[in-house]
Each structure stands twice: as structure tokens, then as C-alpha cells.
A and B are shown apart, each in its own frame.
Chain A
């Protein structure tokens, strides 16, 4: 693979300097955020990590979603008083780890490969680069999650009977979940930009998802009851449950609240990342 290019280049190169003199023949048209988005789209579609992480997520959501539905179907037949939509929860929770990974890698791989220097040389505005990444990544994560969640919910409802679900329930269980997972991915992207290290950022994000619940498990003391309650209420699994209408507690965020909360957190992380990137040496 390495041999063919060298002799050929050697022969044609010396007189192959670009024909353009001082004034380049390439027209200068002002580049915009749209151009940065096109660039980021090329980047995200041309690496394998995208296919792998999103592929694994789709497989996880489908197998876990259908698996639980079939298990319940063979066991008892119906869910009685619970909405069938809520069964999608387990697949989404595991799938979110994949989106987190892709979110971190979107910026982390630039730092690990050194590509970030080339990227910022081509587009010195840190805000524009991060915004373009956020737009491309979140659109992709939103689309894949929403479509998969919808397919899973549809199949589960074919397999099982349960409490009737309203149109709003359906919207939250599909589009709402897609938006929430995309926002969680944006938080991962922001953390990735701040710590500049993929493995570190993924570890932090998995901690963010799981640690509140794990910590709450060990808070037996009465004096800690309030903290324990807070941790469970606002833990990410409970927030996802909130969107499905199947929360562990009754005091946590419910309805569309979890989405609003996650969007605010993600916006804060990305804003912080832009501020840090503007000040910091690459």
C-alpha cells in the first residue's frame, strides 16, 4: 500500500506546483456555519466509530425492548395497569451509553489524533466548530434514537396489551426520548471538549449516569434521607423513566421536565466548553 505513490509522485512533483500565481483562481466566498456543518458531517460519516456506536445502540434497544416484551408475553400475557411504552426504558438506558461514547469521540478523537490542530487552523472560531459538531452529532443521535424508540414501542404494543397511552405519552416515549438522549450526548460532547481525553470523558459521563443511584443505595442514615431522595429523583435513569411515565419516585421530574432539565445542563456544558476553548492553548 505504501509503495505505489512514491515513484509516481517523484516524477511529476517538481513541476506540479499549483498553477495559481499570487492570486488564487479559487473564488473566495465567505464561509458560514453551514460550511462548518458540512465539514463535520463529512467527518462523522467517514469514521467507523459512528457506525459502531449507533449500530450497537440500535441492536441493544431492539433486542432488549423486544426481549422484555416477549418475556412478559410468555409469562403472564398483559401488563394490566402499566403502559406498554414504559418497557422501552431498559433498552434506552443501555443505548444511552453508546450515544455518550459517540458524543465524547466526536471531539475526543480530534484531540487524540491531533486533527484538532488542523481543524482549528481551518476554522479558527472555536464557537463555530463546536456548534457545527453539536448540530451534526445531535441531529444524528436524535434521528437514530427516535426512529428506533418508535419501532420498539410499536412492536411492544403489538405484542402486549396494557393501559391505554395518550398521544402525549407516545410523543414523550418517542420524540421526547430522542431529544433527551441527544441532549445527554451533547453533555458528553461538552465534557469531551473540556477534558480533551476520550477515555476520561466517557468515564465521567458513565459516572454521571450511574453514580447518583449507586450512591443513593448506600445512604441508609436518616440524616441523609433528603440527599438520597434528591439523588434518586434527579438521577438520569429516573429522568428517562419520567419521560416514559414510569418513575421510581413520585417527587422527581415528570412529563417533559426531564428534557428541559437535560437541555439546560447540556447548554451549560457546551457554553463552558466554548469559553474554555477560546482561552486555552490547543
Chain B
């Protein structure tokens, strides 16, 4: 269990992480999402006591990181894969970490075998490919067989095989009752691995919910209709009070309607349908919608007296906003 409480990090006048409070619970994969520059890595670095928070605390099983005597046995982290000395062999890179935490050297062979690097254990890590470097980083995270595992963008730069491997590994680790905390800026990746989501934008907490709830709350569900009698169909729908959006290829999209009621409606009016399906916006769209909201909030901040002081982008947002008029909220959802 990792608990963040009012975690704040300020670099000069820029707030990287802004009063972040949340919990990372054991036994599940928690996805940590945000666009680039949202403060994900800074948060993870503060969790590991690499950066000092401006204010707020991080507790790991109730303790501050610096109080952990053998931290590798509590928490294993992959921050960036290349955080190893390239002139040292894979085995020695892991051995020196193991020794500092009193982990027996036999465990080094075990984790190398686990990530499939046994054959190159004696090779210098400098010559490793991106995927191999990533595996070595994961081996170092698994070294202490820790209860908590943290991965920062683990699939970055990996080939499909590697991505598949990491995905399964994370699920397997979580099923053993471990706490898995994984960051990403790819929502589609999270959809396949995470059970719980923590979303941040510009350092602020935007969502802390289960994956299912997140989709429910943030994605638009709509029905898709296609008919050769499109004109009539549209009139009928208007009469019934549905909002119809016409998209490319003569497809009608109707928000907030079930396929049952639409099908029955069409039958009553004897309309031929070529397509009737219920659609759900992808997770990626939901994520974009949510983070777009956080950007919009800042762009409007000069008008809103209660808002945070304007950030760098505020001036740009304002000048863009003026000629466009006031109806820009419409455009965002599409």
C-alpha cells in the first residue's frame, strides 16, 4: 500500500505536482495516467525519495522511504531502463544492488533467468538493445521479490513481444497479491492491464476510480444508425426528441438512446435499417476528453477568479479564444 498525502512539487514558479492525494492498493494493477509532462515521473521519483517534495508526504506501508532498511525487499522500481552502468555486466549490475540489500547472489541468477537474460548475463549492459535494457531494469525491480512494484512507462520502445510479456508479467505479479503501480501516457495500454486508474493532468488529480467506472463516467455511449431512408429516419427521430448527429458516410449517431428503443421506433414507422449498433467511445477518447478538460480549465483561468494563477499556456489560450467566440466547449467532445 502506498499513500500519497497532499504531495506537492514545485520547480521554481512551475508546479509539477499539485496537492496530490491518493492510495495505491495491493492485489491490483493501478494505472497512473497523464499526458506527457503531467507530473507522473516526478511523482514516482518522490515516492522513491529521489526528489524531495515541496510539501506533503509519501508513505509506503506506513513508513517513509528513507526509513526502509532494505528498500528493495519492499518496493522494486523501474524508472528508466538505462539507469545502469553500461561498462558493467548485467550480472554485476544486479549483484551490487543485491549486496546492498543483503539479497543472496543466487537471486541474481534467478531474476536474470526470469527475464530471459541468462545468456547475456556476463555481457556489458552498454550493448543491450532497448528491450534488453528494459528487461534488465525489470530484473532489478524483481531482485528483492518485493511486495510493491513500480514501473514508469514500461512498454516504451518495446516490440509487440516485449509489450505482451510485460503485460502478462504485471498481471501475474498482481495475482500474487502484490501492489503494482504502472505509469503510462497510453490509455489503450492501460485498458489491457490496469484494474484501477489514477489520472493526473498538470500535476492535479483528475480521477481516482476503477477502470469500469472511469469508462462509464467519461466516455460517451451512443447508438449508430444507418438507413437508406435517411431523411425520413431523421425526421422521426427529431419528432421523438432525440439529438441526432450526422457523420461521414450518412451515419447517424444518437446520444443517450438504447438500440432497443431505436429499433422499435424504426419498426413502428416501417423504416429499413442497414445498421443499428450501440457504441462506446474508446478509453483513449475518454482519456483525451478528460485531459483536454484540464487544459481548458487552465486556458480559462484568467476569467475565473477562483482558479490557480495562470500557467505558461494561459496567454496563448486567451488569444486563441477571442476570435473564436464563446462556443468552443462544443468542439471538444467530438
Chain A residues proximal to chain B, CB less than 8 Å? 1-2, 4-6, 8-10, 12-18, 20-22, 24-26, 28-31, 35-36, 38-40, 42-43, 46-49, 109-110, 113-115, 117-125, 279, 281-282
Contact = CB atoms under 8 A, between A and B. Distances in A.
A2 B176 contact: no
A109 B132 CA distance: 21
A279 B52 contact: yes
Contacts of B119: 4-5, 8
B279 to A, nearest CB: 33
A26 B92 contact: no
A276 B66 CA distance: 16
B165 A31 contact: no
Given A13-B165, A124-B68, A24 B95 contact: no
A8 B85 CA distance: 25
B101 interface: yes
B280 interface: no
B233 interface: no
B333 interface: no
Contacts of A20: 145, 176
Given A113-B83, A118-B140, 12 more contacts: A4-B120, A13-B165, A14-B168, A17-B173, A18-B111, A18-B176, A22-B147, A38-B100, A42-B92, A113-B85, A281-B52, A282-B51
Given A42-B95, A46-B96, A48-B87, A122 B101 contact: yes
A17 B145 CA distance: 10
B263 interface: no
B79 interface: yes
A39 B84 contact: no
B25 interface: no
A119 B93 CA distance: 10
B120 A13 contact: no
B228 interface: no
Interface of B: 26, 45, 48-52, 65-66, 68-73, 77, 79-80, 82-89, 92, 95-97, 99-104, 107, 110-111, 113-117, 119-120, 123, 127-129, 131-132, 135, 140, 142, 144-147, 161-162, 164-165, 168-169, 172-173, 176-178
Contacts of A113: 82-86
Contacts of A38: 99-100
5 interchain residue pairs of minimum CB distance: A9-B116, A17-B172, A39-B100, A22-B177, A24-B145
B102 A31 contact: yes
A2 B70 contact: no
Chain A CB within 10 A, most for which of B70, B80, B95, B147: B70
Contacts of B176: 17-18, 20-22
Contact of A123 (B87, B95, B100, B129): B100
A9 B104 contact: no
B85 A9 contact: no
B121 to A, nearest CB: 10
B116 A117 contact: no
A57 B51 CA distance: 38
22 contacts: A2-B132, A5-B135, A6-B132, A8-B119, A16-B114, A18-B110, A20-B176, A21-B177, A22-B177, A22-B178, A24-B144, A31-B69, A35-B102, A39-B97, A46-B92, A49-B87, A113-B84, A114-B80, A118-B140, A119-B97, A119-B100, A122-B97
A15 B176 CA distance: 12
Contacts of B72: 121-122
B116 A6 contact: yes
B83 A118 contact: yes
A122 B218 CA distance: 39
A13 B129 CA distance: 18
A117 B150 CA distance: 14
A43 B73 contact: no
B101 A123 contact: yes
Given A28-B70, A29-B102, A48-B87, A6 B96 contact: no
A50 B96 CA distance: 16
Contacts of B92: 42-43, 46
A39 B135 contact: no
A31 B168 contact: no
A9 to B, nearest CB: 2
A114 B128 contact: no
Contacts of A29: 70, 102
Contact of A10 (B116, B142, B145): B116
B128 A9 contact: no
Nearest to A49: B87
B83 A117 contact: yes
A35 B100 contact: yes
A110 B85 contact: yes
A39 B172 CA distance: 30
B84 A114 contact: yes
Contacts of A124: 49, 65-66, 68, 71
A10 B114 CA distance: 10
